[in-house]
Amino acid sequence: MSFETVSEARSHGGTQGVYRHASQSTGTAMTLSVFVPDRAGPMPVLWYLSGLTCTHANVTEKGEYRAACAELGIIFVAPDTSPRGANVADGDGWDIGQGAGFYVDATEPPWSAQYRMWSYVSEELPALVAANFAADMGRQGITGHSMGGHGALTVALSHPGRFRSVSAFAPIVAPGDVPWGQKALGAYLGPDRQAWRAHDAVALIEDGARLPELLVDIGTADPYLDTELRPELLEAACANAGIALTLNRRAGYDHSYYFISTFMADHVRWHSDRLA
């Protein structure tokens, strides 16, 4: 299965594309952003998972990753955050339903029919990217923001050895312990909190999952820092597990793409060093 081209534009010595395809995981059309530098031969891939309310477009328009990716020869892939459409279940509020798939395969109705973002981002989409772009799938990194930071951490922890590098911007590190996560995991996976642990980075680490190292940036002025993000829980879990965590607390920065874009090139370069 191949992608339909929605748009392509020249940028920073590469091609910024937006593509659409019929997803077997979700049963819907899915849209994603892919930046490909002008380089011959297979290139490493950096996956970026977006946060609540976002589409592929937020990081594409505001993320400021292209210059660094072009310089370093990295393909940057940013999928959507949920299935979408008139016949797709939606929720009450911006933190559930369309735009808020939480990177899980839902088991509870009405979500279970189409909300299969775990299968989409961890299995279906990598196969499609490998088939359609000059991607070296032996050199993958993953990052994300907020809900997408949660997704990046849990996908990487659950697929040991797949990713050479893992980072996150303001991730939800322990969704089972915070309101956003409790609402989403309860709706999508049901009331059994044991089932939530497979989609909770801190719980996965407590249960034995490991990464060699991890880079996380948070803003000290992030309004969600103490209620939804709880980076100190990840810090403690990594310390107990012997995971090398670099946790940068960026003074005065908030949760927005002003924050993300400021440190995006730093993350791309950090990934590049590990994807060489």
Query: Cβ contacts of residue 104 below 8 Å, gap of 6+?
Result: 115, 117, 118, 184, 185, 188, 189, 199
Active site residues: 146, 222, 255
Task: Please give the Cα distance from 165 to 152 (Å, whole number).
Answer: 10
Please give the distance of CA 8 from its chain centroid, rounded to a whole number: 22
Task: Please give the Cα distance from 267 to 169 (Å, whole number).
Answer: 9
Containing H/E element for 256? none
**4-275 CATH choice from 3.30.1370.160, 3.30.450.70, 3.40.50.1000, 3.40.50.1820:** 3.40.50.1820
Sheet of 29-37: strand order equals 4-11, 14-22, 29-37, 75-79, 43-49, 135-144, 163-169, 213-219, 244-250
pLDDT at 2: 77
Query: Cβ contacts of residue 146 below 8 Å, gap of 6+?
Result: 51, 52, 169, 170, 171, 172, 224, 229, 255
Closest Cα to residue 80, out of 36, 37, 116?
116
Please report, in tens digits, the pLDDT of each residue of the chain (276 residues total).
578 999 999 999 999 999 999 999 999 999 999 999 999 989 999 999 999 999 999 999 999 999 999 999 999 999 999 999 999 999 999 999 999 999 999 999 999 999 999 999 999 999 999 999 999 999 999 999 999 999 999 999 999 999 999 999 999 999 999 999 999 999 999 999 999 999 999 999 999 999 999 999 999 999 999 999 999 999 999 999 999 999 999 999 999 999 999 999 999 999 999 999
Greatest Cα-to-Cα distance within the chain, rounded to the nearest angstrom: 50
Strand ranges (DSSP E) for 134-276? 135-144, 163-169, 213-219, 244-250
Q: How far is CA 177 from CA 24, 103, 184, 264, in A?
A: 32, 17, 12, 28
